Copies of this chain bind each other. A is one copy, B any other.
Amino acid sequence: MEIFNAYIEANAERFIEELKQLCRQPSVAAQGIGLEEMAELVRTKLKKLGVEVRLMPVDDGPPVIYGQLGEGKRTLLFYNHYDVQPPDPLDLWESEPFSPQIREGKLYARGVADNKGDLLARLHAVEAYQATLGELPLTIRWFFEGEEEVGSPHLATFAAEHADLLAADGCMWEAGRKDESERPTIALGLKGIMYLELRAHGAASDLHSSLATIVPNPAWRLVWALSTFKDENDNILVDGLMDHVTEPTAAELEMLAAIPFEEEKVRARFGIPHFIRGLTGVQALKKHLYEPTCTICGFKAGYLEQGTKTVLPSTAMVKLDFRLVPNLEPDLVLELLRQHLRKRGFTDIEVVPMSKEHSAKTMFDTPIVKAAISAAKVVYGQNPVVYPLMAGSGPMYPLTQALGTPAFSAGVGYADSNVHAPNENIRLEDYFEGIRFVGELIRQFGTGN
């Protein structure tokens, strides 16, 4: 692979320019901004590699980008997404989120770590492979969507309808990162999610707060309802929900124990004195990977600016996400929550499901996972840390598990990539290593080694 690596070095500057070009194009799925333009940009890049590429429409959504290239006994599926999270809060960015800037070897931009860096690294790997080693030793299929950050509402239907296009022997999932101690990581599954809004209504319009004596306050209604969902020790209290949560198996606990978890570094990076419940070591890790969450992602009511406004709000809204371990189906959680509210008389609170995703798991003992671990050893010079599950979510289940495709995640991020947060970034060195990893994976998986 020396010639392959040399090509990457020789083209490093252009590769970064192209990455900046992708990052310069906003593509915020939650706000419907820039998605068509972004899809067109990506399509053009695939085309240049000689890929047969199609923009495939989905109802009321940005198109799927589908591509295929190469021949061989195996097929490798790349899953990525070209949409990004909203960039706010803007005032905490040190440079503009859609004006990519390199500072101290890091490229800062919304979406560079999640997921434009990985999307492009895989294209650059194929380019380098073809330019130096010739024809691909396997078939590569690309599936890029533009709605990952809003819960991939069309993916399950698309995957079921186009199972033939998506069939593969292994899938490389969207992203991954090095951990706090610079070890590459590989993950074999992810949590599900149920994202919803709670909406409460009081008077027909905002009122003077002196009327709070007799006119109901929707913000209080939400506070009272929320306080029945989870206690101060972070135990989820939604009726029946925890009954569906199973303990990890002995084999999974063994994998957990093998994961180096440098908790002090993690806490220092987040700037927190201790984890929830004061958990440490493998117990913290176990909660992180094997417990569901119930998270207030947003709470909006009344006056939000500086100073005082004595107002009785007429509406209040909470955005809530539940991260779901295997067995906790999103629809089940939604129904349990509705029952829970009904039972307690919170029939005035509207529950609006926003997006959902199933959890997914890949077994350790599969050719694609073996090839990934082996490729990581070659490129990073060390064993990757293998996570049985990621704490995040994604549409892995319908795209891979439902179609019988084993999947793993790996990518170009690192511990301080600030995914979904201000100052999202990747290190340029990680980007080039990520390209080399994909090249090595193609070689090993394609040639059966």
- 8 A Cβ contacts from A417-432 to B: 418-423
User: Which stretch (A34-42, A135-143, A160-168, A269-277) binds chain B?
Assistant: A269-277
- Distance A291 CA – B391 CA, assembled complex (angstroms): 47
CA distance A287 to B312 in the complex (A): 16
Query: Which A281-297 residues sit within 8 Å CB-CB of chain B?
Result: 284, 287-289, 291, 293, 295-297
A387-411 at interface with B (beta carbon < 8 Å): 390-393
- B287, A214: Cβ atoms under 8 Å? yes
Question: Which chain B residues border A279 with CB–CB below 8 Å?
Answer: 214
Is the pair B223, A30 in contact by a Cβ cutoff of 8 Å? Answer: no
A146 CB within 8 Å of chain B? no
- On whether the beta carbons of A302 and B293 are closer than 8 Å, the reply is no
Q: List chain B residues, Cβ under 8 A from A89.
A: 206
Given contacts A287-B213, A299-B301, whether A308 and B208 have CB atoms under 8 Å apart is no
Q: Which residues in chain A, 191-231, are within 8 Å of chain B measured between CB atoms? A: 191, 193, 195, 202-217, 219-220, 223-224, 226-227, 230-231
A354 within 8 A of B: yes
CA distance A305 to B316 in the complex (A): 13
A92 on interface, CB distance cutoff 8 Å = yes
CA distance A203 to B29 in the complex (A): 26
- Taking each of A220, A271, A418, which has the highest tally of chain B beta carbons within 10 Å of its own beta carbon? A220
Q: Does A73 contact B (CB under 8 A)?
A: no
Find out whether the CB atom of B393 lies under 8 angstroms from the CB atom of A208. no
Copies in the complex: 2
Do B213 and A299 touch across chains, with their CB atoms under 8 A apart?
no
Q: For residue A307, which residues in chain B have a CB less than 8 angstroms away from its CB?
A: 29-31, 86, 150, 354
Partner among B272, B299, B300, B354 whose Cβ is within 8 Å of the Cβ of A216: B272
A313 beta carbon closer than 8 Å to chain B = yes
Would you call A288 and B208 a contact (CB within 8 A)? no
Q: Which one of B202, B213, B287, B310 lies within 8 Å of A193 (CB-CB)?
A: B310
A214/B288 contact (C-beta < 8 A), A305-B30, A420-B208 known: yes
| A355: interface (CB < 8 Å) | yes
The listed residue (B191, B217, B271, B319) touching A308 by CB distance below 8 A is B319
Query: Is A214 within 8 A of B275, CB to CB?
Result: yes
A145 at the interface (CB under 8 A from B): no
A134 proximal to B (CB < 8 A): no
A171 vs chain B, min Cβ distance (A): 20
- Which residues of chain B are within 8 angstroms of A30 by Cβ–Cβ distance? 305-309
List, in ascending order, chain B residues with CB within 8 A of A384's CB.
none
CB distance from A233 to the nearest CB of B (A): 10
**Shortest distance between the CB of A120 and any CB in chain B (Å):** 21
Asked whether A354 and B310 contact (CB < 8 A) given A86-B303, A219-B299, the answer is no
12 contacts between A and B (CB under 8 A): A92-B205, A150-B307, A205-B418, A210-B393, A211-B288, A220-B226, A223-B227, A295-B312, A296-B313, A297-B302, A297-B303, A307-B354
Closest 4 CB pairs of A and B: A204-B271, A30-B307, A227-B227, A210-B391
4 further A-B contacts with Cβ under 8 Å, apart from A204-B272, A216-B276, A297-B303, are A86-B307, A210-B391, A212-B295, A220-B296
Which of A's residues lie within 8 Å of B, judged by CB? 29-31, 85-86, 88-89, 92, 149-151, 191, 193, 195, 202-217, 219-220, 223-224, 226-227, 230-232, 270-272, 275-276, 279, 284, 287-289, 291, 293, 295-313, 316, 319, 321, 323, 345, 354-355, 390-393, 418-423
